[in-house]
Amino acid sequence: MTRMPVRIAMLLAATLAAWQPSKARAAEEDVQLWQIAIVTGDLAKDTALTVDVSQRWRETARGGDQQTFRFSIDQRVAEGVRIGGGAAVFEAGGSTELRPHQQITIVRGGFESRTRFEQRFFDGADRAELRLRQRIQYTHPLGKGWRASVGGEVLGLLQGRNAGDGASTDQWRAQVRIMHAVNDRLEVAASYWLIGFPRGDRPDRYTHVPQTVVTWRF
């Protein structure tokens, strides 16, 4: 009988020791849900407009739920080459970010490379944050009306929003997506993103993002 409390105490201690690292790891990860709607089509010959809006459900510790609106206009300048630009508005927790961007997209077969330069304006920031994004994606048909894509993107800061902040790697993203063309105009998709946030000497933080995407072509 005298050994029972000792054994229980040992079991609780072992459980606590195992639980604490798990809690620490959980603090470095979170799960978000993004729902995205896209409208895209040609404005003129070789000129396309894309508008997207999204609702992003996020934990309060990650800034709370976020709503986004973005548009881009791209001009085809050569076979498989487009240049363009646009702007976006991001709202979360009463704070607003304005984000103009310029980009070049190169398509070769199933491969697509996009380089995007962003200027990010935040409420209360010392200055504009400058960010360069490089994405590479491969898309492959799976059958009638079905496609799949895999890709990755690196986002690097050229200038932080606060005075004294220099260049650094902001985040990286890995993505898989399944797409289905319902008809000539409507496409639905489901995807998963793994987003990593390098943090120097501290452990990296990760975000898991399942997404639903609806695209309408006019």
- Residue 29 exposed, middle or buried by CB count within 10 Å (0-12, 13-18, 19+): exposed
- Residue 16 exposed, middle or buried by CB count within 10 Å (0-12, 13-18, 19+): exposed
User: Read out DSSP for 84-117?
Assistant: EEEEEEEEETTEEEEEEEEEEEEEETTEEEEEEE
Read off the pLDDT of residues 36-82 as tens digits, 9 standing for 90 and up: 999 999 999 999 999 999 999 999 989 999 999 999 999 999 999 99
Element (H, E) at 23: helix 3-27
pLDDT value of position 22: 46
Question: What is the Cα–Cα distance from 75 to 176, expressed in whole angstroms?
Answer: 27
More confident position, 22 or 137: 137
pLDDT higher than 90, residue 130: yes
The mean pLDDT of 80-101, rounded to a whole number, is 97
The mean pLDDT of 78-101, rounded to a whole number, is 97
Interior angle at CA 117, CA 116 and CA 119, nearest 5: 135
pLDDT value of position 20: 45
What is the value of pTM for the model shown?
0.85
Interior angle at CA 212, CA 156 and CA 203, nearest 5: 40
List Cβ neighbours of 184 (8 Å cut-off, separation of 6 or more).
Answer: 217
Residue 139: DSSP 8-state: E
Share of the chain above pLDDT 90, in %: 81
The mean pLDDT of 114-137, rounded to a whole number, is 97
pLDDT higher than 60, residue 14: no
Question: What is the Cα–Cα distance from 48 to 6, expressed in whole angstroms?
Answer: 72
List Cβ neighbours of 216 (8 Å cut-off, separation of 6 or more).
Answer: 37, 38, 39, 40, 185, 186
Helices marked H in 32-75 — which ranges?
Answer: none
Share of the chain above pLDDT 70, in %: 88
The mean pLDDT of 12-30, rounded to a whole number, is 56
pLDDT higher than 50, residue 133: yes
More confident position, 139 or 94: 139
pLDDT value of position 28: 87
